[in-house]
Amino acid sequence: MIGGLTWLVRRGRKARQTPELGAIGGMPEAAAVLAAATGIVAVALAGGSSLLTDSAVQASISELTSFQGRMRNAHASVGFDYGSAAIDDADIIAAGYAPSSMVSGSALKSRWRTDVAVTGSGTSFVVEIAGVPQEDCIALIQQLQQPVAVSVRVASSSAGISGASAITLPASRSGAIAACATDPSVVAITME
């Protein structure tokens, strides 16, 4: 019995001398929690630009969808005839065609706070967005689909839009990357 008691006493002393160990190989639990939190923050920061790109693109598509619906409703009585000239921003804003998120004073602005121009093209109209960052350009072209947009053209400047090839939607990733080679790009979206 004494031999068994001696073992128990030695075991108790050893337990008191051994520091408390956490769940990860001798690392105290607070340090393990801190390490995990640091890892989560690092992952969030690394993907932050992707999250911002997706947010701007989704918001832009939502604005374009709303804009298209308002334009169609207003022009239905005239057989969807949008004319063949630039449509003044002030007229679009006064008529209430543009969502408020696209209006900045008396001008139309994109999600990227760049200029937006609208031109009638018979039974369709073209929304031209200047200064779209390359990653957003790629994502936007890939995510635009009919009936919101019929086709898209991308160029390095407004002057180059007319000579750019029309991209049929939905665009492939490789097609979007090739089209958005310039950073930033001008994106012209044809809508009906």
Q: What is the pLDDT of residues 93-143, one digit of tens each?
A: 999 999 999 999 999 999 999 999 999 999 999 999 999 999 999 999 999
Structure confidence at residue 6 (pLDDT) = 52
Structure confidence at residue 10 (pLDDT) = 55
Structure confidence at residue 16 (pLDDT) = 54
pLDDT at 5 over 60: no
Which are the contacts of 154, defined by CB distance < 8 A and separation ≥ 6?
137, 141, 164, 167, 179, 180, 182, 185, 186, 187, 188
Instruction: Give the residue with greater pLDDT, 2 vs 172.
Output: 172
Structure confidence at residue 148 (pLDDT) = 86
Structure confidence at residue 133 (pLDDT) = 97
Structure confidence at residue 41 (pLDDT) = 37
Structure confidence at residue 170 (pLDDT) = 87
Q: What sign for the dihedral angle of Cα 14, 20, 23, 27?
A: negative
Task: Give the full edge-to-edge strand order of the sheet including 124-132.
Answer: 86-87, 116-121, 124-132, 185-191, 151-155, 167-168
**Cα–Cα–Cα angle for 142, 57, 178, nearest 5°?**
35
Structure confidence at residue 18 (pLDDT) = 52
Structure confidence at residue 168 (pLDDT) = 85
Give pTM, 2 decimals.
0.71
Structure confidence at residue 49 (pLDDT) = 39
Whole-number Å distance between alpha carbons of 165 and 163: 7
pLDDT tens track for 28-82: 544 443 444 343 333 333 333 344 457 899 999 999 999 999 999 988 887 888 9
